[in-house]
């Protein structure tokens, strides 16, 4: 589902919805997500069996509608990952050390959105950590290394 829909209480408007493969986890986004980042780090390769495709938004704009099978895994000292404990679908990535005073953020896997139409990839990240079995190719979007530097 995409588009503005009035919330049942007349307040919150759902922009997009999504969930896991088996339906154990469902969520709604109450803000339009950012363009997609493609992550080439080793953890994303293991989580998604290749690269991770994520779209970010304020944490307050994510509403979990059904969390029967939602599991959180602290994958490093910097982040945790939310996934379905039944079907294994990767759903969320959230930094643990978010800046005090800043608005908390979360990223959602683009593939878990019910309708990702209109979203576009705007960058590749951790390109220096990508596996050697594939090439990124010349898609014309920005590339950043693990240190945040823009790469050719």
Q: How many domains in the chain?
A: 1
Residue with tokens 């945040």: 148
Looking only at the bridges linking them, the beta strands covering 36-39 and 2-6 are: unpaired
26 touches 77 (CB < 8 A):
no
Q: Which domain holds residue 58?
A: 15-143
Is 152 a member of any domain? no
Is 7 a member of any domain? no
HSE-up of residue 127 (Cα within 13 Å, Cβ side):
17
Q: What is the CATH number of the domain that holds 137?
A: 2.170.150.70
Is 136 a member of any domain? yes
What is the pTM for the complete model shown? 0.86
Is 150 a member of any domain? no
118 touches 2 (CB < 8 A):
yes
Is 79 a member of any domain? yes
Is 10 a member of any domain? no
Is 105 a member of any domain? yes
Q: How many Å apart are CA 90 and CA 76, to the nearest integer? A: 16
Residue with tokens 């509403």: 63
- pLDDT tens for the chain, residues 1 to 152: 444 444 445 556 779 999 999 999 999 999 999 999 999 999 999 999 999 999 999 999 999 999 999 999 999 999 999 999 999 999 999 999 887 778 999 999 999 999 999 999 999 999 999 999 999 999 999 999 999 999 97
């Amino acid at each position: 589902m995409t588009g503005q829909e009035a919330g049942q209480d007349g307040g919150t408007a759902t922009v997009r919805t999504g969930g896991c493969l088996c339906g154990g986890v469902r969520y709604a986004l109450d803000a339009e997500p950012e363009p997609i980042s493609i992550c080439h780090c080793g953890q994303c390769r293991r989580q998604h069996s290749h690269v991770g495709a994520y779209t970010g938004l304020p944490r307050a704009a994510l509403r979990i509608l059904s969390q029967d099978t939602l599991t959180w895994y602290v994958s490093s000292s910097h982040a945790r990952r939310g996934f379905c404990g039944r079907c294994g679908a990767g759903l969320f990535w959230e930094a643990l050390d978010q800046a005090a005073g800043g608005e908390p953020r979360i990223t959602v896997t683009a593939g878990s959105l019910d309708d990702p139409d209109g979203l576009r990839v705007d960058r590749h990240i951790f390109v220096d950590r990508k596996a050697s079995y594939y090439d990124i190719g010349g898609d014309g979007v920005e590339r950043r290394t693990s240190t945040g530097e823009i790469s050719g």
